Amino acid sequence: MAFQVYLSGEIHTDWRQQIIDGCARQGLAITFSSAVTDHAASDAAGDGLGPDCEGFWRDHKSAKINAIRIQNAIQRCDLAVIRFGEQYRQWNAAFDAGFCAALGKPYITLHDASLVHPLKEVDGAAQAWAQTPEQVVELLCYLLKA
Amino acid sequence: MAFQVYLSGEIHTDWRQQIIDGCARQGLAITFSSAVTDHAASDAAGDGLGPDCEGFWRDHKSAKINAIRIQNAIQRCDLAVIRFGEQYRQWNAAFDAGFCAALGKPYITLHDASLVHPLKEVDGAAQAWAQTPEQVVELLCYLLKA
Amino acid sequence: MAFQVYLSGEIHTDWRQQIIDGCARQGLAITFSSAVTDHAASDAAGDGLGPDCEGFWRDHKSAKINAIRIQNAIQRCDLAVIRFGEQYRQWNAAFDAGFCAALGKPYITLHDASLVHPLKEVDGAAQAWAQTPEQVVELLCYLLKA
Amino acid sequence: MAFQVYLSGEIHTDWRQQIIDGCARQGLAITFSSAVTDHAASDAAGDGLGPDCEGFWRDHKSAKINAIRIQNAIQRCDLAVIRFGEQYRQWNAAFDAGFCAALGKPYITLHDASLVHPLKEVDGAAQAWAQTPEQVVELLCYLLKA
Amino acid sequence: MAFQVYLSGEIHTDWRQQIIDGCARQGLAITFSSAVTDHAASDAAGDGLGPDCEGFWRDHKSAKINAIRIQNAIQRCDLAVIRFGEQYRQWNAAFDAGFCAALGKPYITLHDASLVHPLKEVDGAAQAWAQTPEQVVELLCYLLKA
Amino acid sequence: MAFQVYLSGEIHTDWRQQIIDGCARQGLAITFSSAVTDHAASDAAGDGLGPDCEGFWRDHKSAKINAIRIQNAIQRCDLAVIRFGEQYRQWNAAFDAGFCAALGKPYITLHDASLVHPLKEVDGAAQAWAQTPEQVVELLCYLLKA
Amino acid sequence: MAFQVYLSGEIHTDWRQQIIDGCARQGLAITFSSAVTDHAASDAAGDGLGPDCEGFWRDHKSAKINAIRIQNAIQRCDLAVIRFGEQYRQWNAAFDAGFCAALGKPYITLHDASLVHPLKEVDGAAQAWAQTPEQVVELLCYLLKA
Amino acid sequence: MAFQVYLSGEIHTDWRQQIIDGCARQGLAITFSSAVTDHAASDAAGDGLGPDCEGFWRDHKSAKINAIRIQNAIQRCDLAVIRFGEQYRQWNAAFDAGFCAALGKPYITLHDASLVHPLKEVDGAAQAWAQTPEQVVELLCYLLKA
């Protein structure tokens, strides 16, 4: 069984790489995707286009361009892993979770126990909650190897 | 034209009532819906059911029950208004926005200018951004009366 | 908020009536539906039609006729309650649960604690598990009144 | 013509292997999938994750993880074969049948004549009923070779 | 339970009226719909429109207009009854059956035993086969009254 | 039979009113909907909202608000009438036609013979082409009365 | 551009082979599919399965098995060619056309001018009408080569 | 990440080739598709088929054939680029945009600043607006390489 896995959320730690490396060590047939994770490039995604603008409209222009990549990746994936860190509001991660839920795409969350209560609606529609990237790798091993 | 409008997000201010009252004053044919907004009742939604539990599973049980109401309300609505306040993480509001986006349900956001950058993905898929409940009422007047 | 609730499963006890009566006492705006619950009539649903037959084909003919009513009821419902009793195999109840899950229709299960392990996949896709009709009534009160 | 075939249900006999071997001998272009069929591993699927728990919540956690694999397999398949044995309640098999029916995925059942009456709703939505793995192999030969 | 029933096929006998009258006598809550059954009017549906034309294009223009009514009626119905008579080719009735099947709309066929073999694919996707309008009325009584 | 009819396109002549009046004279059970047809109000739809802006972003803000009304009206309609006049580019009318086509919503076009060639793709997916509002009224009479 | 083309209908002439050969001569990247076209084998598709039966139920059993192949082929195809000959009623071909129409799958019909009137509803939802296999080959050349 | 990109609209300049060449130089994994862009061939698409005709019906016949290719290409694409030039009405381009919007397929528009106001509804549902083919290439680089 081969899977496409979409990795959503936090961009300030190396959780994506840990999962990718862990799955590679296990020899799992997984293709990973994610949004552009270079923060500055992502904020500037629309700067080369359309009418010059600042503030709301600059963000708007970039967000809509990034959505081309994100929504294609979600549509194609078999599973999403959605990471919430301690910092920042990460509304985009919760938005991706809601998007998955409405499409019937299974997702798992990855966050510390301290975030359980504020994430209860997001976890409520998830297939699982993991606390470490290693747990995610183990889960993928189980799902794809067994 | 009659509309069903789903009101999602912040429960600590009276923004819902302001919109409902404003629309009533304008005589608009709108039915409003929302999640259960009594915080304590919402957290305890599952306490009467299933196996006793605490922490993660208590939240999980309640969140899944609340989702019955929320997802029915979103499926039926013609427009959602999604409110983000300054306090709390409000991941459930962003989750609802993603859910709407995936279903093709139009939504508008309601938040201060200070939140523009962290909400850029949520605003990117919205039909409009309003800063006050009065603006939402005006928008609904325009949409339903003209 | 008004709901349509589909009641699926066991036909040998009065659990349906208990839920209907309990909701009526609470004044909830619920329309209930279910399959034909007269066992003999249900088994004979196709006897007046098509070529005479016995055994497999008699069951087949009746089951396909009953499915007209059942699948319409599921398609229209906002919530299904799916009851498993101690007796009989009740594969039709589990079939209805799977049908709901694939359509994204929320359902809750109603069964004793003794059935938790064999029903784990069915409960896994449910929004809640209740053990008594009274709990279901309370849940509906919470969902529709709050 | 190549097919993906999902094999659901009973895990205590070697019916899966008989079908896989039979199709291999015929040189059919079929990829088979199924849930994890190691019973103990399946029950423990969630043990490495989330908050420790027992009873209902342990089953719940595992069932939701297994659903990631099962529902992906059903979504991808061209045909499901759903096996009911004499023992156990096998509600998960009936659940998979309902899931297939709602998605419009064709499925065939595989069970003894003694189960015809209790399985009438499940058979009613099936494309065929087989009694032996050899019959399933013949059917697949007919469908893919002719 | 109230139903919308779409009546498709043969226009040369009074089978529609027999079903409508029979259901009225039983007090069933059914709204019936059908294509325009005045043959000459139906063939001339497009004569007042578009460029004048004869032969293929006259038929084409009328057929596309009739499809507005037919496809709306099928989309709204809870059940279709599809009638094949001895005369004429009635490809439109078989077309409606295929349209229902793809949408997951249940339908029953109404035809004599002499047509069983040529209609086997159409009957194969039907929920039931009836031979007389009285049988259809009985079936509807069972489905809606029980 | 009752219909909801969406009227799209040209706002500089009274074709909408002619159709509405003609249908009223015939006593047809039709509810009509359309975009806001006051050109200045439509262009200013977003002026009360979000960050001040001009040019592209002002148009963008208003267009997205108008889309809330338009897309709800299309989703609800049973038939759309899409009008192209001699003046202006009316890309919004062609956009609505494409939107209808992708949803499987039937639409008819209303335009002069001089526009047949440039509108061939739009007419190709339409159910009919009319040249006058009177023809549209006749068509609706035929569809709803017969 | 590569296409999958489903060939439906008449099995008594070599029109399928003419199209396949013609496309091969043109080097088109087309994969063709069809139902089992060996009439006796198709009628006997279910003889090895389930309870023995004759007449209606024998046909029923075989038709449902054949539908596994047919409906998978239609779901996968990019275009269907649906052939009606002078003989036989060919309701299955019209059924396939309706199935395509409801799914939004484009199809073209292939039949003589003498069948234009009785096929008007089937042609009305088709993308084109051809009279010879050569015309179909030319059409496919145009669509895939240009 | 690999993409399929559908190029819609203007056929009188070499914008398609500029985008294709630019992406090739960047080594992007993109498969491009478009309608038949040879104007005379496209207008004559149906000339070899069906009953001879002129004017409306000739256009109609060709448009429906071209739609087979266009709608398949849109259904398969991950992104559409929709080009509007100064000349001609290009209603087919706006039609394609509406088709994309209803399917949830992301698209970007490519046009001069002079067309901003008449294209506001089309731009309102787009993910981005570009003014030159180079900008489109840069956007695709960003989306696929980052």
Query: According to the 3-state scheme, what is the secondary structure of chain E?
Result: CCEEEEEEECCCCCHHHHHHHHHHHHCCCEEEEECCCCHHHHHCCCCCCCCCCCCHHHHHHHHHHHHHHHHHHHHHCCEEEEECCCCCCCHHHHHHHHHHHHHCCCEEEECCHHHCCCCHHHHHCCCEEECCHHHHHHHHHHHHHC
pLDDT exceeds 90 at position C134: yes
Residue A90: list chain B partners with CB under 8 A: 91
* Whether A41 and H146 lie within 8 Å, measured CB to CB: yes
- C-beta separation of B139 from F49 below 8 A: yes
* Percentage above 90 pLDDT, chain G: 92
Residue B57: list chain D partners with CB under 8 A: 51, 53, 57
- Mean pLDDT, chain F, whole residue set: 96
Q: What is the pLDDT of residue H89?
A: 86
Residue D56: list chain B partners with CB under 8 A: 50-51
pLDDT exceeds 90 at position B126: yes
List the single residue in D33, D50, D65 with the smallest CB-CB distance to A1: D33
The rounded distance, in Å, linking the Cα atoms of B10 and B19 is 13
Condensed to tens digits (0 to 9), the pLDDT of residues B32-55 reads 999 999 999 999 999 999 888 899
The rounded distance, in Å, linking the Cα atoms of E70 and E62 is 12
Give the confidence band of H52 by pLDDT, cuts at 50, 70, 90: confident
Give the confidence band of C50 by pLDDT, cuts at 50, 70, 90: confident
pLDDT exceeds 90 at position H83: yes
Q: What is the pLDDT of residue E86?
A: 85
List the single residue in H3, H127, H130 with the smallest CB-CB distance to A64: H127
User: Judging by beta carbons within 10 Å of its beta carbon (0-12, 13-18, 19+), is residue F26 exposed, middle or buried?
Assistant: middle
pLDDT exceeds 80 at position G41: yes
* Residue A83: closest CA among A6, A10, A4: A10
pLDDT exceeds 70 at position F146: no
Residue C103: list chain D partners with CB under 8 A: 102
- C-beta separation of A68 from H140 below 8 A: no
The rounded distance, in Å, linking the Cα atoms of G31 and G23 is 10
The rounded distance, in Å, linking the Cα atoms of H59 and H45 is 9
The rounded distance, in Å, linking the Cα atoms of E140 and E129 is 13
Distances (CA, A) of C34 to C80, C85, C96: 10, 16, 11
Q: What is the pLDDT of residue D146?
A: 64
* Whether D124 and C90 lie within 8 Å, measured CB to CB: no
D8 φ, ψ to 5°? -115, 145
The rounded distance, in Å, linking the Cα atoms of A127 and D76 is 19
pLDDT exceeds 90 at position G56: yes
Q: What is the pLDDT of residue H146?
A: 64
Residue C106: list chain B partners with CB under 8 A: 67-68, 71-72
Residues belonging to chain F with any Cβ–Cβ distance to chain B shorter than 8 Å: 33, 36, 38, 41, 45-46, 48-51, 61, 64-65, 67-69, 71-73
- Of the residues H52, H62, H68, the best mutation for testing chain G's interface (the one with the most G CB atoms within 10 Å of its CB) is H68
- Mean pLDDT, chain C, whole residue set: 96
H helix intervals, chain D: 15-26, 39-43, 56-76, 91-103, 120-124, 133-145
CA torsion through residues E135, E141, E144, E145, sign = negative
Q: How far is D102 from chain C (nearest CA, A)?
A: 5
Distances (CA, A) of A87 to A40, A109, A115, D28, H123: 18, 16, 11, 54, 35
Residues belonging to chain G with any Cβ–Cβ distance to chain D shorter than 8 Å: 33, 36, 38, 41, 45-46, 48-51, 61, 64-65, 67-69, 71-73
Q: Are strands B3-9 and B30-34 parallel, antiparallel or unpaired?
A: parallel
* Whether A94 and B99 lie within 8 Å, measured CB to CB: no
* Residue appearing with tokens 């448009």: H63
Using only C-alpha atoms, chain D has a radius of gyration, in whole angstroms, of: 16
Q: What is the pLDDT of residue D52?
A: 85
Residues belonging to chain D with any Cβ–Cβ distance to chain G shorter than 8 Å: 1, 3, 78-79, 104, 106, 108, 113, 127-131, 135, 138-139, 142-143, 146
Residue F33 β-bridge partners = F6
Condensed to tens digits (0 to 9), the pLDDT of residues A35-71 reads 999 999 999 999 999 888 899 999 999 999 999 999 9
- C-beta separation of C45 from C62 below 8 A: yes
- Of the residues F57, F58, F61, F62, the best mutation for testing chain A's interface (the one with the most A CB atoms within 10 Å of its CB) is F57
Pick out chain D residues at pLDDT < 70.
Answer: 146
> In the 3-class helix/strand/coil scheme, how is chain G assigned residue by residue?
CCEEEEEEECCCCCHHHHHHHHHHHHCCCEEEEECCCCHHHHHCCCCCCCCCCCCHHHHHHHHHHHHHHHHHHHHHCCEEEEECCCCCCCHHHHHHHHHHHHHCCCEEEECCHHHCCCCHHHHHCCCEEECCHHHHHHHHHHHHHC
Residue G50: list chain C partners with CB under 8 A: 56
Q: How far is A45 from chain F (nearest CA, A)?
A: 17
pLDDT exceeds 90 at position C27: yes
* Whether H67 and F121 lie within 8 Å, measured CB to CB: yes
Beta-carbon count within 10 A of A28 CB = 18
ipTM above 0.90, yes or no: yes
* Whether F67 and H121 lie within 8 Å, measured CB to CB: yes
C-G interface: how many C-beta pairs under 8 angstroms?
A: 12
Condensed to tens digits (0 to 9), the pLDDT of residues C62-80 reads 999 999 999 999 999 999 9
Element spanning B43, H or E: helix B39-43
Are A and H touching by the rule of 3+ CB pairs within 8 Å?
A: yes
Are H and C touching by the rule of 3+ CB pairs within 8 Å?
A: no
F36 φ, ψ to 5°? -65, 125
Instruction: Kindly identify which residue of chain B lies nearest to residue C133, measuring between CA atoms.
Output: B49
* Percentage above 90 pLDDT, chain B: 92
A89 φ, ψ to 5°? -90, -25
A52 φ, ψ to 5°? -60, 145
D101 φ, ψ to 5°? -60, -45
Pick out chain E residues at pLDDT < 70.
Answer: 146
List the single residue in G56, G84, G120 with the smallest CB-CB distance to E59: G120
Strand, coil or helix: B81: strand
The rounded distance, in Å, linking the Cα atoms of F107 and F9 is 12
H helix intervals, chain A: 15-26, 39-43, 56-76, 91-103, 120-124, 133-145
pLDDT exceeds 90 at position C113: yes
> Residue F81 corresponds to which tokens in the numbers above?
């009438």
* Whether B123 and A63 lie within 8 Å, measured CB to CB: yes
* Whether B130 and F45 lie within 8 Å, measured CB to CB: no
List the single residue in H78, H79, H128 with the smallest CB-CB distance to A49: H128
The residue count of chain E comes to 146
* Whether F57 and A55 lie within 8 Å, measured CB to CB: no
Residue G142: list chain H partners with CB under 8 A: 36, 41, 45, 65
* Residue B113: closest CA among F120, A19, A59: A59
* Percentage above 70 pLDDT, chain B: 99
Condensed to tens digits (0 to 9), the pLDDT of residues D28-52 reads 999 999 999 999 999 999 999 988 8
* Whether A57 and F57 lie within 8 Å, measured CB to CB: yes
- C-beta separation of C1 from B69 below 8 A: yes
CA A52: distance to chain centroid? 30
* Residue appearing with tokens 């002439």: G13
- C-beta separation of E112 from E131 below 8 A: yes
* Whether B61 and C143 lie within 8 Å, measured CB to CB: no
Q: How far is B88 from chain F (nearest CA, A)?
A: 23
DSSP class of H14: S
Amino acid at D64: K
DSSP class of D91: H
* Residue appearing with tokens 């977003």: F46
**Helix, strand, coil shares, percent, chain D, to 5:** 50, 15, 35
The rounded distance, in Å, linking the Cα atoms of H75 and F41 is 36
Residue B131: list chain F partners with CB under 8 A: 49-50
pLDDT exceeds 90 at position A73: yes
* Residue C139: closest CA among B64, B46, B61, B54: B46
- Of the residues B134, B143, B144, B145, the best mutation for testing chain F's interface (the one with the most F CB atoms within 10 Å of its CB) is B143
Condensed to tens digits (0 to 9), the pLDDT of residues G60-95 reads 999 999 999 999 999 999 999 999 998 888 999 999
Q: How far is G60 from chain E (nearest CA, A)?
A: 5
Give the confidence band of F1 by pLDDT, cuts at 50, 70, 90: confident
Of B16 and D88, the one with more pLDDT: B16
The residue count of chain C comes to 146
Q: What is the pLDDT of residue A146?
A: 64
Q: What angle do CA F42, F44, F46 make, to 5 degrees?
A: 105
C34-37 long-range contacts (CB < 8 A, ≥24 apart) are: C34/C6, C34/C7, C34/C8, C34/C73, C35/C8, C35/C66, C35/C69, C35/C70, C35/C73, C35/C92, C36/C66, C36/C69, C36/E142, C36/E146, C37/C11
Q: Are strands F30-34 and E128-130 parallel, antiparallel or unpaired?
A: unpaired
Residue B68: list chain C partners with CB under 8 A: 79, 106, 108, 127-128, 143
Residue G126 β-bridge partners = none
